[in-house]
Structure 1
Amino acid sequence: MQMAHVADWKKDTVAKLRNIIKDHKTVAVVRVDRIPGVQLQNLRAHLRDRMSFMVAKKTLIKLALESMKDEKPGVEKLTDILDGQAAILGTDMNPFSLYKILNSNVQPMPAKGGEEAPEDIRVEAGETSFPPGPIVGELGKVGIPAAIDKGKVIIRKTVTPVKKGNVISRDLALALTKLEIFPFQVGIALDGAWEEGLIYRPSDLDVDMDAYKQDLITGAQLAMNLAVFTAYMTPKTAVPIIRKARIQALNLAVNTGILNKDSSDLILSKAYGEMLALAGIMSAEALDEDLRALVAGAAAAQPASAAPGEAASGEEAATGDGGKEKEAEEEEVSEEDAMAGLGALFG
C-alpha cells in the first residue's frame, strides 16, 4: 500500500512550530480572526522582541503540539482549545504577563457593515471637520442629525444610531468611519497557555494586578501581626517579638515597682506624679513650703496647657468653672493609689 505524500512545506511548518514550542517556557494558542493583514504585521513587529509567533493551519498546529507531549507533558491539551484562525505563540514570560501584554496591544478597527455592534455606539454632538456638502444628507440618512453652522458641518445632538448587539448597516459603517469612530478593537486573542504542565485559560489570567498586589501586602501584614502576637519565632518576627516582650516587661516592672536601670526613672516619675496628685487634694496646712510651691507650680502649668482647648470652646470659656471641675475630676485618684505613690517615693 502506497503511503500518502506529505508536502515539504507542511513538514517545514511543523518543524518551525515544534521549535517555537521547544525553545520557550510558555506556549500559547491564540486567535487572529478578523485582524487585517496590516494590523497583524504591526502587532507581530511590536511584539517580536518578547515572543515568537506563527500562524498555521489547525491540523499542523495539532501535529506539532502532540509531537512535543513527551518533552513538555500536558502541552498537547492545547489542541482542545484551538479555535478560529489559530497561531502558536512562544515566550519566556509567564502566562499572566503574556495575557496582560496581548490585551494592552489592541488596535481600533472601523466597521465594514453587517457586523453586530460590540457596544452602544454614540455619536457626540459638536463640530466636525467637514465643509458643507453631501455629508449632511449621508449622516441624516443613518440617523445622525447634522446641519451647517458657520461654514462647517455640525452634529446637532448626541445620538446612539445602533445599540449593542444590533447589526451595523453598510451606510452607517461608512458614516462612522468618516467621523473617525472605530467601534471594534482587534488584537491577538489568547485562548490558552501552557507553563510547567499547567493549562491556563483567559478566565484564570484575567487578574486585577493592583488589587492582587494589595491583597498580598495585607496578607503579609496580618501574618506578621499574628506571628508577633503568638510569639511565633522566625528571622522576620524575632526583632518585633523581642521588642514587644521588652515593652511588656518594662510596663510590668513599672507597675509592680521593680527597680532596675531601665525602670527606675519611670517608676520615680510615676511616683512623683502620684505624690503631686495627693498633695493637690490635701489641705494646704498639711503641706510644707516646698510641697505647696510644687503644687502651685503644677496648678499654674495645667491651665496654660489647656488654654488652646478652652479657647476653642466658647461654652466652657463663658461658664469658667466647667473646665476646672472636669480637670479636678480627672486628677482625682484613690487614697490607696496616692499612699502607694508616696510609699514608692519615700520608701
Structure 2
Amino acid sequence: MAHVAQWKYKEVEELKNIINSYPSIAIVGIENIPAPQMQKLREKIREIGVLRVSRNRLIKRALEECGGELSKLAKAISGQTGILAAKENPFKLYKFIKASRTKAPAKGGEIAQSDIEIKAGETPFKPGPIVGELQKVGIPAAIEGGKVVIKKDKVLVRAGETISKEIAQALTRLEIYPIEIGLNLRAVYEDGVVYTPDLLEIDEEKFRQQIIDAVRNALTLAIDRKWATRETINYLISMAHRDALALSLSIGFPTKENIELLLKKAYIEALHLKNLVDKKS
C-alpha cells in the first residue's frame, strides 16, 4: 500500500472544514489568471467568503467525504480548480463572479471565448501603413475624409476559433480586448441543490417584470372571483360598498350615507317632471 503524505490528510480536513462553514460552495476554474489579478480576486472574495486552491484529487476527496449532494460537485472538477465558499446565495455569487471578470488583450494562440466582432466606424488612426495591416487580417479598413475607417461590421474570429498573433496585434491596436480574465464558475451547491451556470444566468429586469405581471394577474383574478385575502380585502370592501350604494339609490332606500344623493336625485326628477308639465300647459 502506497504511503500517503500527512499533509494531504490535513489538506482534506481543512477543505471539509471550509465546505461545512459556508452555505454556498462553488467549483471554479482558475485557468490563465495572472498572479496580480488572482491577488485582487482574493481580496474581493474576502468580502463574501474564501477561495481555496488545491489539488483536484484532494478537492474531490473532501467533497465525497462531505457526502450527499455535495459529492456531485466533484463532476465539475477539471483543469485548474478551486473551491469558492461563500455566504451569498448561488445567484448573487454568480453575479459577483461575472462582475469580477476583467478584459485583457489577446497575445495570439488563445481560443476565442465568444465571437470577436469589429464594428463599422472611424478609428483614431491617420492614413498610413495601418490600413494595409488591418486589411491583411480581414478587417475592411479604408481611408475616408482623411481618416482610417472600418467600412462595415465584421466578425473577425468565431467563438471556439484560435486567435492568430496577427489578429491579436490588430485587435490591440484597435483597443479591443477579447480575453476575459477571472474565475469560471462551473457549479455551485446550496441547500441540497447543485446549480450550473445556465440556471443562474437571469435577466434581472425581465424576471422582475414577470413577477410584477404575475402578482397583478393574480390580484385581478382574486378580485374577479371575490376571493378575500389580505391583498384583496380592501378592493372587495370598496366594490361591495359601491354596489350597495348603487342598489340603495336605484330602489330609493334611504340611509345615512345616501340620503343627500337621494334628495338630489329626487330634486332632479322633480325638475324634469315640472318641465314636462310646463311643456304640455
**2:186 pairs with one of 187, 191, 196:** 191
Change over 3 Å in CA distance of 1:148–1:279 after alignment to 2: closer
1:213 alignment partner AA: R
Question: Matches of 2:127 and 2:21 in 1, distance apart?
Answer: 56
Which residue of structure 1 lines up, in the alignment, with residue 55 of structure 2? 57
Specify the SS of the correspondent of 2:177. Answer: coil
Checking the alignment, whether the CA contact within 8 Å between 2:73 and 2:187 is kept in structure 1 is yes
Question: Matches of 1:89 and 1:37 in 2, distance apart?
Answer: 17
Q: CA deviation digits over 1:312-341, x for unaligned, max 9?
A: xxxxxxxxxxxxxxxxxxxxxxxxxxxxxx
Checking the alignment, whether the CA contact within 8 Å between 1:139 and 1:146 is kept in structure 2 is no
Which residue of structure 2 lines up, in the alignment, with residue 245 of structure 1? 240
Of 156-165 and 79-88, deviating more is: 156-165
Question: Is 1:43 the counterpart of 2:37 in the alignment?
Answer: no
Question: Matches of 1:273 and 1:245 in 2, distance apart?
Answer: 26
- Residue 219 of structure 1, CA deviation: 2.3
- Residue 274 of structure 1, CA deviation: 3.3
- Residue 215 of structure 1, CA deviation: 2.1
Which residue of structure 1 lines up, in the alignment, with residue 115 of structure 2? 119
**1:172 pairs with one of 167, 184, 194:** 167
Question: Is 1:269 the counterpart of 2:264 in the alignment?
Answer: yes
Specify the SS of the correspondent of 1:74. Answer: helix
Checking the alignment, whether the CA contact within 8 Å between 1:52 and 1:91 is kept in structure 2 is yes
Question: Matches of 2:155 and 2:98 in 1, distance apart?
Answer: 28
- Residue 97 of structure 1, CA deviation: 1.0
Change over 3 Å in CA distance of 1:179–1:51 after alignment to 2: same
Question: Is 1:206 the counterpart of 2:204 in the alignment?
Answer: no
Which residue of structure 2 lines up, in the alignment, with residue 333 of structure 1? none
Which residue of structure 2 lines up, in the alignment, with residue 222 of structure 1? 217
Change over 3 Å in CA distance of 1:155–1:235 after alignment to 2: closer
- Residue 143 of structure 1, CA deviation: 4.2
1:193 alignment partner AA: V
Question: Matches of 2:262 and 2:150 in 1, distance apart?
Answer: 82
Checking the alignment, whether the CA contact within 8 Å between 1:121 and 1:183 is kept in structure 2 is no
Matches within 5 A, 1:292-331: none
Matches within 5 A, 1:146-185: 154-155=148-149, 157=151, 160=154, 162-165=156-159, 166-185=161-180
Change over 3 Å in CA distance of 1:124–1:12 after alignment to 2: farther
Which residue of structure 2 lines up, in the alignment, with residue 110 of structure 1? 105
1:266 alignment partner AA: L
Change over 3 Å in CA distance of 1:270–1:149 after alignment to 2: closer
Question: Matches of 1:39 and 1:68 in 2, distance apart?
Answer: 31
Question: Is 1:16 the counterpart of 2:32 in the alignment?
Answer: no
Question: Matches of 1:230 and 1:159 in 2, distance apart?
Answer: 55
Rg: which structure is higher? 1
Question: Matches of 1:194 and 1:89 in 2, distance apart?
Answer: 10
Q: Percent same amino acid at aligned positions?
A: 36
Question: Is 1:82 the counterpart of 2:77 in the alignment?
Answer: yes
Which residue of structure 2 lines up, in the alignment, with residue 313 of structure 1? none
- Residue 210 of structure 1, CA deviation: 2.0
Q: CA deviation digits over 1:163-203, x for unaligned, max 9?
A: 42443211221232233211122322221111111111222
TM-score, reference length from structure 1: 0.70
**How many residues are aligned here?**
278
Which protein has the bigger helix share?
Answer: 1
Query: Structure 1 stretches of 5 or more lacking a match?
Result: 287-347
- Residue 52 of structure 1, CA deviation: 1.0
Which residue of structure 1 lines up, in the alignment, with residue 29 of structure 2? 31
Change over 3 Å in CA distance of 1:9–1:251 after alignment to 2: same
Q: Which has the higher contact order (CA 8 A, sep 6+)?
A: 2
Specify the SS of the correspondent of 1:228. Answer: helix
Question: Is 1:94 the counterpart of 2:89 in the alignment?
Answer: yes
Q: CA deviation digits over 1:245-288, x for unaligned, max 9?
A: 222111111111111111211222223333334444554364xx
Query: Structure 2 stretches of 5 or more lacking a match?
Result: none
Q: CA deviation digits over 1:138-177, x for unaligned, max 9?
A: 4454345477998xx8456456372424432112212322
Question: Matches of 2:256 and 2:30 in 1, distance apart?
Answer: 76
Specify the SS of the correspondent of 2:36. Answer: helix
